Amino acid sequence: MPGVPTQEWPVADATRYRDAGYWQGESIGAWLRARAAQHAERTAVVGGSTRWSYARLDQEADRVAAGFLARGVQPGERVVVQLPNVPEFLAVMLGLIRAGIVPVFALPAHRQTEIDNIATVSGAVAYVIPAVHEKFDYRTLGRSLRASHATVRHVVVAGVVEQDDPDLESLDAFRGDDLSLLIDPPSSSVAFLQLSGGSTGLSKLIPRTHDDYLYSVRESATICGLSPASVYLVVLPVAHNFPMSSPGFLGALDAGACIVLSPSPAPDVAFALIEQERVTIAAAVPPIALMWLEAKAITSADLSSLEVLQVGGAKLTPAIAARVTPTLGATLQQVFGMAEGLVNYTRLDDDVDTICNTQGRPISADDELRIVDDDDVPVAPGAIGHLQTRGPYTIRGYYQNAAANARSFTDDGFYRTGDLVSRTAAGYLVVHGRATDQINRGGEKVSPEEVEDHLVAHPAVLDAVVVSVPDDYLGERSCAFVIPRAERVPPPVLKSWIRNRGLAAYKVPDQIVFVDAFPSTGVGKTSRKDLRGALRALAAEQATAAAAPVSTPDSRVS
Ligand code: OOB
């Protein structure tokens, strides 16, 4: 069948990973079945008014697997899943994977541009959405995808479907009881496609196998001390790799623990759930951790059950890190990971200095890490360089993207992470930034090129360059430098114009600065990368000038 995703390691490496017991030859569907047999009556997941036992979750997954197969969706075909933090997400994800159908995980923040692209690149045959979430009606996205993509045969709504809408089908119609079509997929096959943060252009798709993902999940559950008594709170979007597998809700299932899905990371919502469900561990990005630290002073919620707060996705400053345990009474665990594979953790029994000042060390003794200079030559021990990695749960290539693979992987199969790191004598990594122009907006990754392409599509915009600028709360935010054609469109108008093109809100530039020309970065052909560097410097200058009493006359900042 065309487009069935694969992911292969060289035979020698695959043999080594199997012999070491990392890859155990078990599919995620079979793994869930075994966990459900072991913990049948224990609570697996709590979300809204729903509480499912392990046996019930297993049954829900079966029903989704049977339903999609009965409706003619074939193993190997791709289904875009865009659901918020609701129990149905687990049923749909685990059901599709059990059937060998490949979910492609979109985030609730994604809009038409991203969904169009994900559907095109994956060749999706179906799209699963909520009806309405956070006041946004996903059914409009569903209808337009149906209209624009001949390959999309089904738009499946977990929620209300109007009777007279022929383009939309109810999730109930994709639940069945006949398991005769179900065949357990090989553990070496691709279980799902994750989105890459991406630093250039549009998202790349990351094929993860049953074998490699379950290995990272099992080890993560152990490293993070999960047991059947643990209660894991999901506050980040459930489809993101961090709350999915590091150790995430899958780690919780591996341990027989309980998963609590929070509809929002806001302290009033999350704290109430921590108190009610006696949550023991939660995963946050730095801005959420900071928000929780501030809110702790004024909350009456009882957070005493919280044993571990994991923070990752973007750099946590040592000063904020140092506040976590004294304020929340929980052990901090820094997590430096990527959907492509490699995940690093500080260990729960590490000393305070290591926990506050490093981003952890890898999961596996067989994670190979190289820190190199611009010419791929290893730097001296302790020096800063580019991180490259290869190992038992790091991909060797993106889905059908030869150009990206040539850029992102070395000839000997190491993934070029794009991160600038150093390593301590004890083998812990410290993240110093990124070599690429990708903007890390509080854990949400923004490709400047993608946003620039939208900006220059505006009739009043001649050219645009998007850069990151430091931000106390988010770590980085985005700033667009725009050369107007004649008139200057007010920045709020330009922002909402971009938003209305169907782009995730977090990609809309935080700030727009009009300039007459871009600074010259030297003689000869100017690369956009150099230009971004020069404009970042200009943005820093502007920030200093804005802090001073005299404002810059020539640019309008919003
Ligand atoms: C996680 O995954 P992605 O794929 O959204 O983003 C990966 C990138 C890394 O290459 C790095 O640039 C950045 O996010 N990052 C961090 C970080 N954790 C991730 N930068 C500094 N400090 C950290 N602690 O973000 C992700 C996946 C699994 C677990 C945790 C995070």
Q: Residue written as tokens 């991180």? A: 387
Q: Round to whole Å and give the CA distance between 522 and 250.
A: 51
Q: What is the pLDDT along the chain (558 residues), one digit of tens a residue?
A: 779 999 999 999 999 999 999 999 999 999 999 999 999 999 999 999 999 999 999 999 999 999 999 999 999 999 999 999 999 999 999 999 999 999 999 999 999 999 999 999 999 999 999 999 999 999 999 999 999 999 999 999 998 888 789 999 999 999 999 999 999 999 999 999 999 976 556 789 999 999 999 999 999 999 999 999 999 999 999 999 999 999 999 999 999 999 999 999 999 999 999 999 999 999 999 999 999 999 999 999 999 999 999 999 999 999 999 999 999 999 999 999 999 999 999 999 999 999 999 999 999 999 999 999 999 999 999 999 999 999 999 999 999 999 999 999 999 999 999 999 999 999 999 999 999 999 999 999 999 999 999 999 999 999 999 999 999 999 999 999 999 998 899 999 999 999 999 999 999 999 999 999 988 766 666 678 888 888 888 888 877 777 765 434 344 444
With respect to residue 293, please indicate whether it lies within any of the assigned structural domains. Answer: no
What spacing in Å lies between the alpha carbon of 294 and ligand 1's midpoint?
Answer: 24
What spacing in Å lies between the alpha carbon of 360 and ligand 1's midpoint?
Answer: 12
Q: Closest Cα to residue 363, out of 245, 189, 240?
A: 245
Residue 111 near residue 141, CB atoms below 8 Å = yes
What's the pLDDT at 526? 64
Q: Going by CA atoms, what residue is nearest to atom 30 of ligand 1?
A: 337
What's the pLDDT at 224? 98
Beta strands (DSSP E) in 428-555 are: 429-434, 439-441, 444-446, 461-471, 475-484, 511-514
What spacing in Å lies between the alpha carbon of 245 and ligand 1's midpoint?
Answer: 13
Residue 466 near residue 480, CB atoms below 8 Å = yes
What's the pLDDT at 197? 78
Query: Where does a domain end: 151, 186, 221?
Result: 186
Q: Going by CA atoms, what residue is nearest to atom 25 of ligand 1?
A: 313
Q: Round to whole Å and give the CA distance between 416 and 390.
A: 9
- What domain range is 84 assigned to? 56-186
Q: What angle do CA 58, 239, 221 make, to 5 degrees?
A: 65
What domain count does the chain have?
2
**Ligand 1 site residues, Cβ closer than 6 angstroms:** 197, 241-242, 246, 312-315, 334-339, 343, 359, 417-419, 431, 434, 440, 443, 445
pTM value is 0.95
Phi-psi region of 182 (alpha: psi -120 to 50; beta: other; left: phi over 0): beta
With respect to residue 271, please indicate whether it lies within any of the assigned structural domains. Answer: no
Q: Round to whole Å and give the CA distance between 127 and 79.
A: 6
With respect to residue 82, please indicate whether it lies within any of the assigned structural domains. Answer: yes
Q: What angle do CA 526, 529, 535 make, to 5 degrees?
A: 90
CA atoms within 13 A on the CB side of 96: 27
What spacing in Å lies between the alpha carbon of 500 and ligand 1's midpoint?
Answer: 28
With respect to residue 156, please indicate whether it lies within any of the assigned structural domains. Answer: yes
Whichever domain contains 153, its CATH number is 3.40.50.980
Paired strand residues for 103 = 79
With respect to residue 452, please indicate whether it lies within any of the assigned structural domains. Answer: yes
With respect to residue 63, please indicate whether it lies within any of the assigned structural domains. Answer: yes
Which pairing describes strands 258-261 and 43-47: parallel, antiparallel, or unpaired?
Answer: parallel
What's the pLDDT at 523? 60
Whichever domain contains 476, its CATH number is 3.30.300.30
From 241, 315, 336, 408, mutation site for ligand 1 pocket: most ligand atoms within 8 A of C-beta: 336
Query: Where does a domain end: 186, 202, 228?
Result: 186
Query: Where does a domain end: 136, 155, 186?
Result: 186
With respect to residue 133, please indicate whether it lies within any of the assigned structural domains. Answer: yes
Q: Round to whole Å and give the CA distance between 209 and 125.
A: 20
Q: Going by CA atoms, what residue is nearest to atom 22 of ligand 1?
A: 315
- Dihedral sign, CA of 513, 515, 517, 523? negative
What's the pLDDT at 202? 72
With respect to residue 303, please indicate whether it lies within any of the assigned structural domains. Answer: no
Q: Round to whole Å and give the CA distance between 316 and 334.
A: 8
What's the pLDDT at 533? 85
- Dihedral sign, CA of 178, 183, 187, 193? negative
Angle at which helices 248-255 and 28-39 pack, to 10 degrees?
A: 50
Q: Round to whole Å and give the CA distance between 418 and 380.
A: 19
